[in-house]
Structure 1
Amino acid sequence: MKILQVNKFHYLRGGAEKYFLDISEALRQLGHEVAVFSMNHPKNLPSPWSKYFVSRISFNESKWRDKLLAPGRIIYSLEAKRKFKKLVDDFRPDIIHIHNIYHQLSPSILAVARKYRIPVVMHLHDYKLVCPNYQLFVDNQICYRCRKQRYCQAIKHRCFQGSWLKSALVALEMFWHHRVWKIYEKTVSLYLAPSAFMKETVVSFGIPEAKVEVLYNFIDQAKLEKKEVKMEDYLLYYGRLSFEKGINILLEALRLVPNTPRLKIVGVGPEEDQLKDSVKSLGLEGLVEFLGAKYGSELEEIILSAKAIIIPSVWAENMPFVLLESLALGKAVIASRTGGLPELITSGETGFLFENGNSADLAEKIMALNDYNLAQIGSAAQATVVDLTLEKHYNRLLEIYQRFIKKV
C-alpha cells in the first residue's frame, strides 16, 4: 500500500509528532511505501521527501516577512498546495493520513486530495478542528463557546494568546474553512480520535458521529517487560511546563501535605521561571527539583523509581503519551478527572483521580498513597494498556485504510 503521512513538523516536538514519526516508520518496516509531507525546519529528521517540504515560517518570531505572510499562509497556502500536488503526482498514494496541518501547511492541501479523489483519514491530536485556540481552554477554564460555529467568541474572549488581532485571524480561519469552504466536511473520510472524550467532544460540535472512530495510541511493548528498579520516596511530574498542565495545582497540594514529599519535575516550557518562583513563595525549596528535559533510558529510570506519577492538567487532556507510558511501566498515576484521563484510570484500583483544579483533593490523594499497595496498583494499571500493541493498532489502521480505498 502507498501511504502519504502529513504533519507540519518532522521532528520530535510533542505527542502528535511522536505518533506521526512512529507510525510512519512502523508502516515502512511492515513493507508499505510511505511518503511524508511537512515543513522545512533545522531540527527536521532526514527524509528522502524533504524536497517537497514547504518553506519554514514561524509565527512566534518577529520577522516582518513571516508577519506579512502569516494570514495568507494560515488560511490558504498556495505553496503547500503546489508542493503537495507535485508530491502526489510523483508518489501516487492510495490513501492520505493527515495529522496536524493547521497554520504551517493549511488545508489547501486537501483540495489536491479532493481533486484526485484520494481518501483522507485525519488524526485528531488536539481540538483545533473545532476550537480556534486548539485547547478548549480559555480564561482558566474549559471552554465550549464556539459550538455551533460561533467563532466570534474567540475574538470576544481573546482566546488566542490573549490577542484580539491573533484571535480575529484564527476566528476568520475557522469561519472560512468550516462555514464557507467546508473543505474538511467535503474531503475527510474519517476522523481518528485517540480517546472517547475526543470523539464525544467533536461530535458535540457538529462532526457527524459516523465519521469519527476511537483509536487509542499504541505503546512500546518493551516498556511492559518487568524491570527491577528500587522505588524511591518522590513524586514525579514530567511533561511540558505550561499553565494548562496544572503544575501550580500540584505545588499548592504539596503545601497541604504533612511531611511534604519530594517532587521531581522533568520538562521545559514557558512557565518554568514562574513555577520556580512559586516553589519559593510556597516554602517548598529543597523539596522540589527541576531536572530539565530528559529522554530515553534516563527518563525511564526516573519514572520507574518514582513513588507515583502526577498528571494535574486543568485543560481537557486528550490521551497523553505521559499517561500511556506511565501505565505501561506499571506506575501508580494520580490524574485530574478531565478529558480522556479517566478512561484508563479506575480510582483506587488502577490509579487515582482527583477533582480538576482542586489542590485539596489532590493533597488527599497524595496522602492516601501510603494506604495502598502501589506495586499492586501498578500491575493493575499496566494490565489496562497491555492490549494497546503496535500490531493491533497497525491491523486496525490498515483495516480503516482499506475500507476507504475500496470506496473510491
Structure 2
Amino acid sequence: MYISLMRILIIHNFYQHKGGEDVVFTQEATVLKDKGHQVETLSFQNKKGIKGLFQFLLYPWNSFAAHKIMKKVADFQPDIVHIHNTHYAIGPLAFRKLSKRKIPVVLTLHNFRLLDPSANLFHNNNVFTDTIDKEFPWKSVKNKVLDNSLLKTFWTAFTIYIHKKLGTWKNIDRILSFSEFGKQLLLRSTLQLSAQNIVIKPNFALESLEEKQIEKKDYFVYIGRLSEEKGIDSLLTAFSKCEYIIHIFGDGPLVEKVKQAAQLHPNIVYGGFQQKETLHQHLSASQALLVPSIWFEGMPMTVLEAFACGTPVIASKIGILEEMIQNKKNGLLFEPNDDKSIIDALHTWQTLSIDDKNAISENCKKDFSDTYSSQKNVLLLETIYKEAIQQAKNK
C-alpha cells in the first residue's frame, strides 16, 4: 500500500533520568525521517528544585507548555502530532488545544499512568490493580503509590481525573498500546475510551543487532534495573539453589544484594553497568535472556534485542510477557516470583535437544522480523497516522 509523505511533529517529555521511552522517541523519529517524511521534534525536560515544583503544580493545566506546542504547530504546520510522555512538564492541556484546532493527535502509552498514578500498577512488592475501575483512585492516594508522596500521588490522580471528566482522553484520535493486554486494561477502566481508537503498536529494535553471529556459551543473562519489581529476589534465590550460570548486568537499589549473592555463589556473575555493545555480545552468546519481572512491563527493549539476535527469552508468565513469549516457540514461561518455577524452566531449557534450541532461536528471529523490526513498525505507524488524519477530518 502506497503511503504519501507526511509532515510529522513528535513531542516528548524527558524524565530526569534516561529511560526506554527516550529510546523509542528517538528511534521512531529517525526511521520516519529515513522513510522520507518531514519530521520535527519538540522536547521538554522535568526539572529539579523550584522549577520542578512549578512544573508539577502546573501539571493539570500547563498553558505555558501548551502555548509552546501550539507555536511549533503554527510554524511547522504538521499533518499529525505524535506525543509520547507528558508527565509532568507538558500535561494534558496540550491535547485539548490540539483537538480544538482539529489537528490529528496520536499518543503512545509507555506506562499505565492513565489508569493509576503509580504508572506501573505495582505497590508494596505486588501488582496493584484495585483502582482501575474506580472513578478516583483514593486507595492509591492513601497508599502514596507515587514516590511515597501523598501530594505527588493526589496531584497526578487529580490531573488524570479532571481531564477524564472534561473528555480530554476521548478526543485523542489514536492511543497506542504495546499489547492486547494493555488495551484490555484501558477498556476495563473508567476512561470510556473507544476500542477503535486504541491501536496495538509494539516497540522495535534496530536491525543492526542481527548482523554478528556469536558462538553460544553455557550461561544465561539478565540485563536491566536491579529492583524489586524486576524480580531480582526470586532470580537470586533460584540461582543460589542450582548450578546454572547467570550473568547479571545493570544497576539499581538492589545492587548490593546482587553483589553479595555473586560473592557467595560462583555461578552468579555480576557484570555491573555496561555499554550497549558489551551487553549485545553477552546477550548473543547466552543460552537465553531471563526476565523474572513480577509487575506489568511496558514492552522491554531487551526482549526485542534478544529476539533480534536469535536469543530465546525465559520470562515470568505475567502481563505483556505472557503475550510476547510462547512456550517452547520463542522461549519459556515460569510463574512470577517463584524460584522453583524458574529452576524448572532452566532445567527444561537445558534438556531440550540442539535441534529444538536452534528451532526456537530461528523463531525468535522470525518474530523480530515479522513484528519488532523497524521496517514493520514504520509501515504500521504510517497506517496509524493516516487513519488518525482521516478520523480528524470526519469529526
Q: Does 1:189 align with 2:173?
A: yes
* Deviation for aligned residue 1:332: 2.1
**CA distance in structure 1 between the partners assigned to 2:257 and 2:162 by the alignment:** 37
**CA distance in structure 2 between the partners assigned to 1:294 and 1:375 by the alignment:** 28
* Deviation for aligned residue 1:219: 3.2
**CA distance in structure 2 between the partners assigned to 1:253 and 1:247 by the alignment:** 10
**CA distance in structure 1 between the partners assigned to 2:227 and 2:164 by the alignment:** 29
Answer yes or no: is the 8 Å Cα contact 2:25–2:84 preserved in 1. yes
Gaps (5+ residues) in structure 2?
A: 1-5
Q: 1:215-236 CA distances to partner (integer Å, 9 max, x unpaired)? A: 22233233344x4322222221
Match of 2:298 in 1: 318
**CA distance in structure 2 between the partners assigned to 1:100 and 1:277 by the alignment:** 36
Structure 1: which amino acid aligns with 2:269? E
Q: Does 1:110 align with 2:90?
A: no
* Deviation for aligned residue 1:17: 1.4
2:47 to 57, 65, 82: 57
SS in 2 for 1:7: strand
1:163 to 149, 171, 188: 149
**CA distance in structure 2 between the partners assigned to 1:165 and 1:193 by the alignment:** 28
**CA distance in structure 2 between the partners assigned to 1:12 and 1:398 by the alignment:** 30
Deviation larger for 153-162 or 307-316: 153-162
Gaps (5+ residues) in structure 1?
A: 41-55
**CA distance in structure 2 between the partners assigned to 1:329 and 1:255 by the alignment:** 28
Match of 1:50 in 2: none
1:228–1:85 Cα change, 3 Å: closer
Structure 2: which amino acid aligns with 1:85? M
Match of 1:347 in 2: 327
Q: Does 1:213 align with 2:211?
A: no
Structure 2: which amino acid aligns with 1:242? S
SS in 1 for 2:319: coil
What are the residue-to-residue correspondences of 1:127-138 with 2, within 5 Å? 127-138=112-123
Match of 2:341 in 1: 361
* Deviation for aligned residue 1:10: 9.2
Answer yes or no: is the 8 Å Cα contact 2:258–2:270 preserved in 1. no
| Residue correspondences, number | 380
* Deviation for aligned residue 1:365: 1.0
Answer yes or no: is the 8 Å Cα contact 1:349–1:377 preserved in 2. yes
**CA distance in structure 2 between the partners assigned to 1:150 and 1:170 by the alignment:** 11
1:307–1:13 Cα change, 3 Å: same
Answer yes or no: is the 8 Å Cα contact 1:197–1:318 preserved in 2. no
1:88 to 40, 59, 73: 73
**CA distance in structure 2 between the partners assigned to 1:11 and 1:88 by the alignment:** 26
Match of 2:350 in 1: 370
SS in 2 for 1:387: helix
Structure 1: which amino acid aligns with 2:58? R
* Deviation for aligned residue 1:380: 2.3
SS in 1 for 2:27: helix
Answer yes or no: is the 8 Å Cα contact 1:224–1:328 preserved in 2. yes
Identity of aligned residues (%): 27
* Deviation for aligned residue 1:352: 0.6
1:177–1:315 Cα change, 3 Å: same
Match of 1:48 in 2: none
**CA distance in structure 2 between the partners assigned to 1:352 and 1:88 by the alignment:** 47
Q: Does 1:241 align with 2:226?
A: yes
* Deviation for aligned residue 1:279: 4.9
SS in 1 for 2:383: helix
**CA distance in structure 2 between the partners assigned to 1:406 and 1:368 by the alignment:** 50
**CA distance in structure 1 between the partners assigned to 2:99 and 2:348 by the alignment:** 55
1:80–1:64 Cα change, 3 Å: closer
Answer yes or no: is the 8 Å Cα contact 1:12–1:18 preserved in 2. no
**CA distance in structure 1 between the partners assigned to 2:181 and 2:299 by the alignment:** 9
**CA distance in structure 2 between the partners assigned to 1:311 and 1:359 by the alignment:** 13
SS in 2 for 1:340: helix
Match of 2:3 in 1: none
Match of 1:203 in 2: 187
Q: 1:278-319 CA distances to partner (integer Å, 9 max, x unpaired)? A: 555xx32x3333323323332211111112210000001132
Q: 1:335-363 CA distances to partner (integer Å, 9 max, x unpaired)? A: 00011112232212321100111111011
**CA distance in structure 2 between the partners assigned to 1:141 and 1:252 by the alignment:** 18
* Deviation for aligned residue 1:23: 0.9
SS in 1 for 2:119: coil
Q: Does 1:148 align with 2:134?
A: yes
SS in 2 for 1:144: coil
TM-score by length of 1: 0.87
Q: 1:73-132 CA distances to partner (integer Å, 9 max, x unpaired)? A: 322223211211211111111111111112121112213212211011111111112121
**CA distance in structure 1 between the partners assigned to 2:104 and 2:205 by the alignment:** 27
SS in 2 for 1:192: strand
